[in-house]
Amino acid sequence: MNAIPAMNRLIGQFEKLPGIGAKTAQKMAYYVLSGDKERAKEFADALNAARESIHYCAKCHNFTDREICDICADKTRDSALICVVEQPGDVETLEKMKDYHGVYHVLHGLISPLDGVGPEELTVKPLLERVANEDVREVIMATNPSVEGQTTALYIAKLLKPFGVRVTALALGIPVGGSLEYADAATLSSSIENRREI
């Protein structure tokens, strides 16, 4: 079986996908080659079509098939409020909430010196340009509350300071519907520190 170069090449491609190991990659390759021969063609066509039509929005760097994505082009949204996220999936997640009416900026990663990812690898410069050239009132840092996420948020906040723009971060605390019993010490400590009037 492993003597088929085209099969190994395809399995290798599936293995590169996030969260996919050798065994699952093989299953996937077998699946697309089994049964209907058109399966692999449809898949390849979908990949090529996506690659040709989808690129980053010139403003927010989210995926789009136009020059400016639907969210950035939406005149009813508050373009003076920018929510900075790590990846396109985060925009999707925040949009589901339907409560946010500002725009976004997708970093496409987090600063992580150990992985060799510095600010130059991210869309930090385009963000600064947006803040410098557009009428921006507030930037919400919505990176994950991990070490890399918080480092990135603090780094960008520092760069944004000279522009006199308000920089905020998502509240850290006990999840709605959660239980004190299962909250970790860092979350509890943050929820006490950031306690609110009721």
Question: What does the binding site for a copy of itself look like in residue numbers (CB under 8 A)?
Answer: 1-7, 9-10, 12-13, 16-19, 24, 26-35, 37, 39-54, 62-65, 70, 87-89, 91-92, 95, 108
Nearer of residues 47 and 188 to a copy of itself, judged by Cβ:
47
Residue 33 vs 188, nearer CB to a copy of itself:
33
- Shortest distance (Å) from residue 39 CB to a copy of itself: 8
**Cβ 113 to a copy of itself shortest distance, Å:** 18
| Closest distance of CB 12 from a copy of itself, Å | 7
Shortest distance (Å) from residue 186 CB to a copy of itself: 26
Q: Which two tokens stand for residue 40?
A: 């692999």
DSSP helix/strand/coil, 139: strand
Closer CB to a copy of itself, 34 or 146, in the complex = 34
H-type alpha helices, the chain: 5-16, 22-33, 38-53, 70-73, 88-97, 124-133, 147-160, 185-193
Amino acid at 86: E
Nearer to a copy of itself, 60 or 160 (CB): 60
Burial class (CB in 10 A: 0-12, 13-18, 19+), 72: buried
- Distance (Å, rounded) from C-alpha 7 to C-alpha 2? 7
Structure tokens at 109: 């990663």
Residue 51 Cβ vs a copy of itself, minimum distance, rounded to whole Å? 4
CA 195 to CA 173: how far, in whole Å?
9
Tokens of 154: 């603090």
Q: Residue 7 or 157: which CB sits closer to a copy of itself?
A: 7
